[in-house]
Copies of this chain bind each other. A is one copy, B any other.
Amino acid sequence: MSSGQRKAAREWSKEFEVEGHLIDSMILSRIFDRIMDLGGDFEVLEFRIGKRKTDYSYAKLLVKARSEEHLKVLTKELHQLGAVPTEYEEPTLKPAPQDMVAPDGFYVTTNHPTFIYLKGRWVEVEGIEMDKVIVVSPDKERAICKKLRDLKKGNLVVVGERGVKVKPPERPREGVGVFEFMGSKTSSEKPAAAIIRSIARDIHAIKKQQGKVVVVAGPAVVHTGAAPHLAKIIAMGYVDALLTGNALAVHDIEYALYGTSLGVRVDDGQPVPGGNRNHLSAINEVYKAGSIKRMVKLGILKKGIMYECVKRGIPFVLAGSIRDDGPLPEVITDVVKAQDEYRKHLRSADLVLMLGTMLHSIAVGNMLPSTVKVVCVDINPAVVIKLMDRGTAQAVGVVSDIGAFLPLLAAELERLRGS
């Protein structure tokens, strides 16, 4: 190809670079795929492959488009995959025209670590979360991830992809945790005991290193008889925060007070006469005491998940939902406020364990950077699939019965703690 020819072609072309463990983390594959999917063309101008697995690789591509518009489209997409134009430019910043409204063309975040090119250097965006906007401080020293509804008129919002770089997660290279074990697939006919052991090892290792484990759970934990086992895991000190809703708390307290969940006696599985009223009775008892915390203090609530949280000072957040009975006094009925509370406790989490709840799992998935480990346990494979489709691609799904899974996990954690 003569240099003259290339010149002509360059009219709708642009050089990009990308760096990292390009091949074994599949980043380059995705970049090439995407260009082709979109009808673009490319040439590899330079490619330095890490000779050893600990080395980084570097690639420079000439991406060719059919039109200026097409090139813009390609740029947008490559951006998502971590490729940036070789000539770094400062981002376009536009002021928010009014409170809660971003300027047209505003940049929408992914959940990957993100950097903004400001005053000649790449500044990492603080508090990254998917589907938010980026606001740059007036002195251009900081870049902050913000919800649309938190925008103030005049905030400097990043518009377009220019000057923004994302870093998709790389595959971890060592270790034998469940993440290496499972890849990012759901467990379909995999050996249950082996999976549980590997999750236990991950949780144990994180806690040993003062890491943070957050549990997201739904009422199925109680219905399936697993409440004492989750309570025990909390009592052993493996949980740093519990994010859930009204239903888990109500049924946990129902079980603690009356031995039933949804009116079924959990210990022997018999429906209890008049048991249908127990969950409302439990709510009434909480109302009477004023709060769950006071119930514990008054000695009325003596066991269970909520009890262990209160006793050990483990923070819990009960988010309201449209299907709540009651709801209990500690429930945050405004969902926007509940989101903020959830967010607070997810900050700096190392591993999130999701147990039998589609609603809260997807909500939490939306709030997590892609660097946080996520294990999602549900008897319904659709929950895990949805979680990944919604962008929490790092999640590991375990299709299992919570009622059989949690006793085995608790026993394994106990064994690890003793050893």
Contact residues of A with B, CB < 8 Å?
Answer: 23-26, 28-29, 32-33, 35-38, 41-44, 47, 49-53, 73-74, 76-77, 80, 97-98, 100-102, 106-108, 110, 131, 133, 148-149, 171, 173, 176, 180-181, 186, 188-195, 197-198, 220, 223-226, 245, 261-262, 264-271, 273-274, 276-277, 279-281, 283-284, 287-288, 319-327, 333-339, 342, 358-360, 362-363, 366, 379-382, 385-386, 389, 399-401, 403-405, 407-408
- Nearest-Cβ distance from residue A116 to partner chain B, whole angstroms: 17
A191 in contact with B366 (CB, 8 Å): no
B42 in contact with A268 (CB, 8 Å): no
A–B complex contacts, Cβ < 8 Å, 15 sampled: A24-B33, A38-B273, A47-B49, A97-B288, A100-B287, A131-B325, A191-B267, A192-B226, A192-B404, A193-B403, A195-B269, A320-B334, A320-B335, A323-B366, A324-B335
| A191 to B, closest residue via Cβ | B225
Most buried by B among A176, A225, A245, A338: A225
| A228 to B, closest residue via Cβ | B193
- Tell me which residues across on chain B come within 8 A of A224, comparing CB atoms: 189-192
- Tell me which residues across on chain B come within 8 A of A29, comparing CB atoms: 23-26, 29
A37 in contact with B180 (CB, 8 Å): yes
A407 in contact with B76 (CB, 8 Å): no
- Tell me which residues across on chain B come within 8 A of A108, comparing CB atoms: 276-277, 280-281
CA distance A363 to B246 in the complex (A): 13
CA distance A324 to B25 in the complex (A): 31
* Known contacts A33-B171, A287-B148, A320-B335; A23 and B23 CB within 8 A of each other: yes
- Tell me which residues across on chain B come within 8 A of A327, comparing CB atoms: 149, 335-336
A32 in contact with B23 (CB, 8 Å): yes
* Known contacts A273-B73, A322-B360, A333-B335; A43 and B51 CB within 8 A of each other: yes
**Identical chains in the assembly:** 4
- Tell me which residues across on chain B come within 8 A of A107, comparing CB atoms: 277
- Tell me which residues across on chain B come within 8 A of A38, comparing CB atoms: 273
| A219 to B, closest residue via Cβ | B189
- Tell me which residues across on chain B come within 8 A of A271, comparing CB atoms: 37
Pick the residue among B36, B76, B223 that contacts A173 (CB under 8 A): B36
- Nearest-Cβ distance from residue A252 to partner chain B, whole angstroms: 14
- Nearest-Cβ distance from residue A172 to partner chain B, whole angstroms: 10
Most buried by B among A268, A321, A381, A399: A321
- Tell me which residues across on chain B come within 8 A of A191, comparing CB atoms: 223-225, 261, 264, 266-267, 269, 403
- Nearest-Cβ distance from residue A406 to partner chain B, whole angstroms: 9
Most buried by B among A149, A224, A337, A338: A224
- Tell me which residues across on chain B come within 8 A of A407, comparing CB atoms: 193, 408
A389 in contact with B188 (CB, 8 Å): yes
| A271 to B, closest residue via Cβ | B37
- Nearest-Cβ distance from residue A66 to partner chain B, whole angstroms: 13
- Tell me which residues across on chain B come within 8 A of A266, comparing CB atoms: 191, 194
B53 in contact with A36 (CB, 8 Å): yes
| A42 to B, closest residue via Cβ | B53
Pick the residue among B51, B194, B273, B321 that contacts A44 (CB under 8 A): B51
Pick the residue among B180, B193, B245 that contacts A322 (CB under 8 A): B245
CA distance A381 to B101 in the complex (A): 40
- Tell me which residues across on chain B come within 8 A of A186, comparing CB atoms: 385
- Nearest-Cβ distance from residue A407 to partner chain B, whole angstroms: 7
| A26 to B, closest residue via Cβ | B29
CA distance A12 to B24 in the complex (A): 23
